[in-house]
Amino acid sequence: MKRASTSAWVWAFSVYSYVATTLSAAWFARRAARAAGAPMSFVESVSWQGASYALWLPFAGLVWAMLRRFGAGGRGVAVLTLAAILLVPLESLAAAWTDMAFRGAGGGWGEALGRAVGRLPVSILLYTAIAAAGLAAAHRQKAVEVQARADDLETALETARGALARQVAPAERLMVSNGSRRTPVDLAQVEWFAAAGNYVVVHWGQGEGGEREGLIRETLQALEARLDPAVFARSHRSTLVNLARVRETQSLSDGSWRLTLESGAELVASRTYRDDLLARLGR
């Protein structure tokens, strides 16, 4: 829904820009024609300029498509710049032929090329404005999507905390090996699990030396299969995190998340596992 809203905003702005530019250019065209002693009607001027600037509508759609495909970062800007080398002269030439058709001017290709060169500065300006508007819309869409994912994650964290708070049965305990000792650890106190071959490293709470950890003889895949998916979710192919123990989240520039746990430990959920996490939680 949010993506469709951004697209609708882009097209609404494009239509507004087209109408405003057409009417403004028609007004100037009538003034120029009157000064040259060849007055034209309002309908004729609007038809002429409307046909001329209508050429930009498919180009605006192409700019938006390129931004959707390549993004609004450096790669997208590079693609838009390279596309301008072809699109701007092409539009100038097409507009020149349109001018000649409406004004009944002859001269063939020589006249058209001359007019196209004269229109190039305006065409460059309009293309730059369209590209800038497209970049602004693409950045807005990205910000909306990032915020939507962040909201989904916060909802998932609240769900996990609620699931632990509603537990009635005694909390499950894990017998964790720590050197020569075996320590019982409530599953609810575990912050995250890390795969270590046929073992799993259990990280929980805080001890005198900082975060406490130990081993259980079980694979991460087998452990995950018996855990509540609303509470424990993958943040990496070798990591399971207790969502109820996430204290803070931060969106990173590459689309991943930094998860800060209650102990102060930090985990990063890549874009792939970020989306898998939300899909698994039904978000």
Beta bridge partners of 192: 203, 241
> CA nearest 244: which of 186, 196, 173?
186
| Whether pTM exceeds 0.75 | no
Per the domain annotation, does 157 fall within a domain? no
- Number of separate domains in the chain: 2
Integer-rounded Cα radius of gyration of the chain: 31
- Name the band, by pLDDT with cuts 50, 70 and 90, for residue 84: very high
Residue 133: pLDDT band (50, 70, 90) is: confident
Element housing 36 (H / E) = none
Query: Are 210 and 125 in the same domain?
Result: no
Give CA–CA dist 201/176, Å, rounded: 9
The mean-pLDDT minimum among 66-70, 108-112, 144-148 falls in 144-148
Q: Which of 86, 119, 150 is the last residue of a domain?
A: 150
* Residue 72, C-beta contacts closer than 8 angstroms, at least 6 positions apart: 135, 138, 139, 142
User: How confident is the model at residue 1, as a pLDDT?
Assistant: 40
Q: Are residues 13 and 119 in the same domain?
A: yes
Domain shared by 96 and 51, yes or no: yes
* Residue with more model confidence, 55 or 89: 89
Residue with the two structure tokens 């912050």: 191
pLDDT tens-digit map of 223-268: 998 888 878 888 888 999 988 888 888 888 777 888 899 888 899 8
Spatial distance between the Cα atoms of 116 and 123, rounded to a whole number of angstroms: 9
Can you give the CATH number for the domain in which 262 is found? Answer: 2.40.50.1020
In a domain, 159, yes or no: no
Note down the domain range covering 257: 170-280
Asked if residue 178 and residue 130 are part of one domain, the reply reads no
pLDDT in tens, 6-36: 667 777 877 888 899 899 989 998 998 888 8
What value does the mean pLDDT of the chain take? Answer: 83
- Mark whether 17 and 112 lie in a shared domain: yes
Whether residue 183 sits in one domain with residue 100 = no
